[in-house]
Amino acid sequence: MKRSFIFMVLVSLMIVIVACGGDEEATPTLSPTPTSMPVAVETAPEPEEIVVSMGDLFFGDSNDNLQNPPIWTVTSGAEVTVAAENRSGALQHN
């Protein structure tokens, strides 16, 4: 009985020691940001214009729109102006 009591006391002490130890956690520290660092400033892209040439039965530079459709590209976020240029003699486009 005496041995089991001493064993229980030792186990209890070990649990208390383990539970109380190692309580210090590493806390992340933030280093101050220097004020001399350049800050990225987002600038708006230049305005762009797309000119679409309109023929009698097609648009773009060639008359094979079904097989080879024209592709116009602009910069993302840019202000775009689309102008239709009438190259037709018989039909009117607006």
- DSSP assignments along 9-77, one per residue: HHHHHHHHHHHHS---PPPP-PPPPPTTS------PPPPEEEEEEE-SS-BSSSS-TTTS-------TT
Q: Is the pLDDT of residue 91 over 60?
A: yes
The pLDDT value recorded for residue 81 is 93
Q: Quick check: is 91 in a domain?
A: no
Cα dist. 24→21, 27, 79, 83 in Å?
8, 9, 56, 69
Number of domains in the chain: 1
**53: containing domain:** 48-86
Q: What is the pLDDT of residues 14-67, one digit of tens each?
A: 776 766 665 566 666 666 655 666 667 778 788 899 888 877 777 777 778 778
* pLDDT: which is higher, 88 or 51: 51
Q: Quick check: is 8 in a domain?
A: no
